[in-house]
Amino acid sequence: MDIRRKIALACADIVLIVMGLVLALGLRLDFDPAGMMRYTSPEHLILFCGAALLAVMIFFLFGLYDKVWRYAGVHELQSMVYAVSITTLICEAFVMVGWGVVFPRTCPIIAALLWLAGCGGMRFIMRILSSRRSKDSNRIVRRALVIGADDGGEVIIRELERENSGFLCVGLIDDREENQKLHIHGVPVMGSMANLTEIIKENDIQALIMSGVKPALVRGAVQACANLPDVKLCVVPSVSDLIEGNVQVKRMRDVQIEDLLERDPVGVNQKEAEAYIKGKCVLVTGAGGSIGSEICRQVVKLGASRVILMGRGENSIYEIGIELRSAPVEQVIVDLRDKARMTQLFEKYRPQVVFHTAAHKHVPLMEANPAEAVSNNVLGTLLLIELAQKYQVEKLIAISTDKAVNPTSVMGATKRMSELILAARRIPGFAAVRFGNVLGSRGSVIPTFKRQIAAGGPVTVTHEDMTRFFMTIPEAVSLVLQAGAMARGGEIYVLDMGKPVKIIDLARNLIRLSGFEPETDIPIKVVGLRPGEKLYEELTNTGEQTEQTEIAKITRVTAPPPPADWPGAKLEELREAVRNADDKAALKLLGELVPHFQNKQLEK
């Protein structure tokens, strides 16, 4: 509030306070003319003005001239009550000490009520008039329903009124019986999720707004809007952020496929990660990939002194380098298997922390190229481990996958071998972190489905019963960094991925989020399992046990490690198979080295 508005408001308060004292005196004396004349002499009026100036000073102390009154609420009302109460107590003290003879003792108390009504009422009238002007100037674009008659819903309604949001809230949806037919800020609760479709149609609703992400409610909203493509689905951030004033409704976003996943939000505490990353040189292999690039972003925020962005694909390394150009990063193009170049990299930069995300991950492609999968995922990882040990790296965290559990694919078997190499060597601070699919990674199911939907379908699903674990990339990386703080040597950490999701349900929901109806607008075609694929994924191998760590979403795998010299003489045979590009030999050796590896190619 600028100085001129503060002065104008203070002058108005002085007038209202003096008028309040005069009116309080009249009420006390029943407006008797003789009595009124006695107490309204020029001397009394000077005292009245003194009381008004005292009140204005106290109002300043309580910040009543620094508040934006068009946003006034309970807090502002409390401040007004406290300021008036203190003013009244001081005035009453003066009356009791000296004014009692010439001024009625009860007048300050009566005046206090009038001051609250006058000064407080003037401010809340300012809020009402401001709200009306905002509504008149707003071009209402969409009639909206807010899901949730709770604190989050109340904040959304208030924010929609204040901001030039383009939404008019006409109703609330809530499943709780006790909330039916209630009103929040004049907005009625119209019903529950069960009759959401009817409410949308009857009230010409053009937008649904949800406070926070509750997967069950999101799925219900998506289902209700399945045949209503003109209805926009929006999510505002968490209720706690809204209530604390950290987020504004104008930053609401569209519902995303991540919102449909049945999992608890990950609580992120990065203090442990910061302890071993801050001020350190960090090497990230596969830095241009989905996981690798997010690790780069997060370790930069954690205060790494230098981040080495290493990868084989120049375009992806260039892109993440441009994104982080203001941070202390170095871009290095090198093949993980090139011993001379890798040695040069370690000699030059002397990394203290290594995150190993580089790998061949595409299951069907690795089924057709076993020797290449072994070369990159096994021998490349082994070279990295050896160099990291030689150059005294403090932490090395290798990213593994749920496909390494009782593997049926070449890719899964090679990742399991990487886990076993780490377990056998038990180098202090070196460990693996195992988790399932991440949403939005290149080549994953979500981008594939989106391309198929954009092309008009069909959306292809390999099997109606196929399930997968899913997690967002930032969540997975946050947990990986926290797991790194616990790494002791050779162990495997498993991230809690929540409940598995049926791929066909994911396809249907994504079609609905795209504004189409499954099977009607976009067909879904079941094409059968691809080579190496499983119907469902697991997170622990046969014979492995898990123990809970101090972080709720991370468990530690406990199993007898292989011998320290594992895989022994078989390692040289693997190298020979790779040198000769002998896919059959590479596949056969994987079958011999990886427990529980079952692959159809081995049966031939």
361 beta partners: none
Q: 3-state class of 317 per DSSP?
A: helix
Angle between helices 107-115 and 74-97 (to 10 degrees): 160
Distance CA 203, CA 334 (A): 60
Q: Where are the alpha helices (DSSP H) in 263-409?
A: 271-277, 290-301, 314-323, 339-349, 363-368, 370-373, 381-390
Burial class (CB in 10 A: 0-12, 13-18, 19+), 30: exposed
Catalytic residue among 403, 415, 534, 553: 403
Whether 321 contacts 292, CB under 8 Å: no
User: Which residue in the block uniquely carries the two structure tokens 């529980």?
Assistant: 596
Residues 6+ apart with CB under 8 A from 151: 239, 242, 243
Distance CA 497, CA 436 (A): 7
Nearest to 65 by CA among 134, 14, 130, 128: 14
Distances (CA, A) of 17 to 23, 296, 316: 10, 62, 69
Tokens of 299: 């370790």
Strand ordering across the sheet containing 306-311: 329-333, 306-311, 281-285, 353-356, 395-401, 430-435, 492-495, 554-558, 545-548
Pairing of strands 524-526, 467-468: unpaired
Whether 169 contacts 144, CB under 8 Å: yes
403 belongs to the catalytic site: yes
Tokens of 216: 């069950």
Q: Where are the alpha helices (DSSP H) in 225-287?
A: 239-243, 271-277
Distances (CA, A) of 151 to 90, 209, 235, 291, 565: 38, 14, 15, 36, 60
Pairing of strands 183-184, 187-191: antiparallel
Q: 3-state class of 234 per DSSP?
A: strand
Query: What's the one-letter identity of residue 201?
Result: K
Peptide bond into 567 cis (omega under 30): yes
Distance CA 224, CA 517 (A): 11
Peptide bond into 560 cis (omega under 30): no
Active site positions, annotated: 403
